[in-house]
Structure 1
Amino acid sequence: MDNNNDRPIRPEEEPVAPNGVESQAAAVAQENNRNDAVPNANRRPRPSRTINTRILGPFDTGRMELSKQERQWAQTVKEAIEKDSEITNLSDFWYVQLALIEKGPDIDNVLDRARHLQAFRQEYGITETTSSGCFFVHEFIKLFPGFSLSFSFNYATGRYVAAMDLTKFYTAKLFSTPGAVETWLATNYHSQNALNPDFQAIRHGATLALECDGFDWKKNMNLRFFTTLFQEIGSAYPMKWGSVNFFNSGVFINVLMSMVKRISPPEFHENYEFGLVSEAGRLDNIFFIPSMEAANERILMRITLALQRRYANEASFSL
């Protein structure tokens, strides 16, 4: 590979982040330049010694470990769902995911989310396979070119990272193009599966890096967009956002997101961080190296690997 960003990272190159680096603009460059590379799928996992306290690489088997309490939560979730005749039984992996998001767990919330999840899958014809996920991601990339900037794993934080350019998304196009809403929502579902391939990813949450320079709520994203997002998939998919970082955000995005807080679940907006600035200017200057087309290929390759890991973990795990 010619570009240094594209080669697999060797273990000795894994960076150690200083305190608070995730909230700094430099972290995005670090995620791309050091970590925004296709991991070596043949890399051996290192044995894990602890849960929650140590940052683990994406192939570390310790990322699938559970504490005794978490396992008990998942058993409680499993029993509740399998007693409910209206909900189709899920895999043990899904029971853990619901338990980790609905901590405690709050069984009423678990059952409500499980019903929404089932309805969402049925309405949008979701098939839980790598090929289906990559198909929708590819279709979405074609629908909104330039919106998807990167999908990566940050070795410094142990989180999966999705970077997007909000100025390349057009609400009018979304709601006027036949099949676009279905493609968008299915892509959200499969992308969140890719961001949650193991229990540590689910437990710690994912990072969103959002480019906002030039954002216009009249043409890009408005309240109708966010209302649809949260009503359809936000109420269904069990997801934790570890951090939501807005780069080059101005008045428009700040005002819009303050209104979005009123309709979004707390787990989405409680970790907003506005006004971040990248030394490279816009984030596409970092991620579209050497081109947008190359970046799209990297995104599809990494999502493929992440979905493969998730479904392999799901197939092999049992409570």
Structure 2
Amino acid sequence: MMAETDATSTQDTSTDGASHHAPAQNELMEISQAELDRAMEIKAVFAQDERLREMPSDFMCVQYALCTGDESLEILCDRAYLVQCFKEEYKIANTVEEGIDLFHQYTLLQPGNFLAMEYLPDEKNYFIIVDAAAFFPSAIKTDDQVRTWIGSTFYWWQATLPDFQAIRNGWTQMFECMGASFDNFDAALTERAKDLMKAYPKNQRVLYFLNSPTVVNIFWALWKRGLPEREAKSFVLGHSIPGWEGERIDSLYKQPTEEAAREKMILNVYDFLQLRMKNEREFSLDRAANLLNERNTEMFEENGSQA
């Protein structure tokens, strides 16, 4: 019942209350003392790991802190190293320009696969709609096409986790599965993305699989075995939205035309990536620590004066 309520709310917000612009930041970038301490600890062990040729940003240290629960620092170093290896293997520069280019190229390589990416102001997180029946692994043949596919995956994660509140909340995702078949799955291709999926620090609030046929249920039941338990629990197979039982929802997101919807989605991703890069560039753990110290001092002085 809870999943049904959330899905209904998500659908309503995505069509009527979703924002096509990046949200105002301020409180969305605040962190608690416990989160700061964990991020500082992670940053310290990253700095000591000789494998990490490029130190993860302070923003990324907080992202690891928010997404990895009680995982050991040793495991986090391994995860950071795998992300580094991925970026080196696929020549990922982590820039807005490269990200939007790869995502744009992916929408041409797999037209209709991504239907929408939007910000949900009420939920303070991001919402993604994917048509599982419009993904064709057979179209991904060359090394450049593999880079487009797996690189765009990295960037849409970046785009939908641009601030700390969105990272805490995790994104909401819906897969329209009606019509999906074995032609839409390739275990060997998926295996190439598995290391990135396990290494990149992310929160998935919930993944709804709408109208999922048996082949989808089998594939995802096998796939989620390799995911962290927290992520595996976010999968909701065989889901339906009240009022849309047995109907595809892709038409809702191809308005006024499929091409116009695609262009709007790409502009959204561009805005979200810009916000992500700005926050990542400007955030400092030292400044966050100073701000928390100032607030604690003010509260102490205020309580002292009231006493």
Q: Distance in 2 between matches of 1:203 and 1:112?
A: 22
Which residue, out of 149, 160, 166, partners 1:184? 149
Cα 1:22–1:202 change in 2 (3 A) is farther
Amino acid at match of 2:38: W
Tell me the residue number matched to 2:134.
168
28 and 204 in structure 1: CA distance in 2 versus 1, 3 angstrom threshold: closer
Deviation string, structure 1 residues 214-266 (Cα, Å, up to 9, x no partner) = 0102x1013324322212x1133111111000111121111211111222332
Question: Hey, what's the Cα distance between the residues in 2 that align with 1:22 and 1:306?
Answer: 27
Partner residue of 2:101?
135
- Alignment check: 8 A CA contact 1:36 1:151 kept: no
- With over 3 angstroms needed to count, the CA separation of the structure-2 counterparts of 1:105 and 1:256, relative to structure 1, is closer
Offset at 1:141? 0.1
How far residue 159 of structure 1 moved from its aligned partner, in angstroms, is 1.6
- Once residues 28 and 142 of structure 1 are traced to their aligned partners in structure 2, the CA distance between those partners, rounded to angstroms, is 27
Give, in angstroms, the shift of residue 98 of structure 1: 1.2
Q: Are the counterparts in 1 of residues 14 and 127 from structure 2 also a CA contact under 8 Å? A: no
Q: Equivalents in 1 of 2:124, 2:71: separation in Å?
A: 24
Aligned counterpart for 1:115 among listed residues 81, 93, 98: 81
Letter in 1 for 2:135: F
Instruction: Find the counterpart in structure 2 of residue 226 from structure 1.
Output: 190
Structure 2 CA distance for partners of 1:124 and 1:30, relative to 1, 3 Å: same
Q: Match for 1:204: what amino acid? A: N
Name the CA distance, whole Å, in 1 between partners of 2:281 and 2:34: 22
1:110 maps to amino acid? L
Alignment match of 1:251 (pick from 196, 214, 227): 214
**Bigger mean CA offset, 134-143 vs 119-128:** 119-128
- Aligned pair 1:63/2:28, yes or no? yes
Judging changes above 3 Å, is the alpha-carbon distance between structure 1 residues 222 and 23 closer, same or farther for their aligned structure 2 residues? farther
* RMSD, aligned α-carbons: 1.9
Whichever residue aligns with residue 278 of structure 2, its letter is A
How far off its partner does 1:269 sit? 1.9
CA deviation string 1:7-31 (max 9, x = no partner) = xxxxxxxxxxx9756533x335313
Query: Aligned residue for 2:172?
Result: 207
Deviations 1:263-309 (A, max 9, x none): 23323321111222243521211111111111111111111111111
Q: Equivalent residues in 2 for 1:259-298 (5 A)?
A: 259-278=222-241, 279-280=243-244, 281-298=247-264
Percent of paired sites with the same residue: 28
What's the counterpart of residue 11 of structure 2? 29
Bigger helix fraction = 2
Q: Distance in 1 between matches of 2:10 and 2:70?
A: 33
The range that moved more, 200-209 or 256-265, is 256-265
The verdict on how the C-alpha distance between 1:195 and 1:221 changes in structure 2, with shifts beyond 3 A counting, is same
Is 1:94 the counterpart of 2:60 in the alignment? yes
Cα offset, 1:178, TM superposition:
4.6
Q: Is the 8 A contact 1:136 1:187 kept in 2?
A: yes
Q: Tell me if the contact between 1:204 and 1:242 (Cα under 8 Å) persists in the aligned partners.
A: yes
CA contact (8 A) 2:18 2:121 kept: no
Alignment check: 8 A CA contact 2:19 2:121 kept: no
1:303 aligned to which of 269, 293, 302: 269
Shift of the 21–309 alpha-carbon distance from structure 1 to 2, 3 Å rule, reads: farther
Q: Greater Rg, structure 1 or structure 2?
A: 2
Contact 2:47–2:55 (8 Å) recurs in 1? yes
Give deviations 1:37-57, integer Å, cap 9, x for gaps.
422x6xxxxxxxxxxxxxxxx
| Corresponding residue number in structure 1 for 2:49 | 84
Report the secondary structure of 2:93's partner residue. Answer: coil
Tell me the alpha carbon deviations over residues 150-206 of structure 1, each in whole angstroms, 9 at most, x when there is no partner.
0011223222111100101112222x2452111111001111000110111111211
Which letter does structure 2 place at the counterpart of 1:23? D
Q: Structure 2 CA distance, aligned partners of 1:177 and 1:29?
A: 36
CA distance in 2, matches of 1:196, 1:254: 27
| SS of structure 1 residue aligned to 2:99 | helix
Q: 2:204 maps to what in 1?
A: 241
Q: 3-state DSSP class of the match of 1:72? A: helix
Query: CA–CA distance in 2 between the matches of 1:72 and 1:104?
Result: 13
| Letter matched to residue 271 of structure 2 | L
| AA in 2 matched with 1:258 | A
Cα separation, 1, equivalents of 2:170 and 2:228: 15
Q: Is the contact made by 1:246 and 1:275 (CA closer than 8 Å) also made in structure 2?
A: yes
Question: 1:38 aligns to what?
Answer: 20
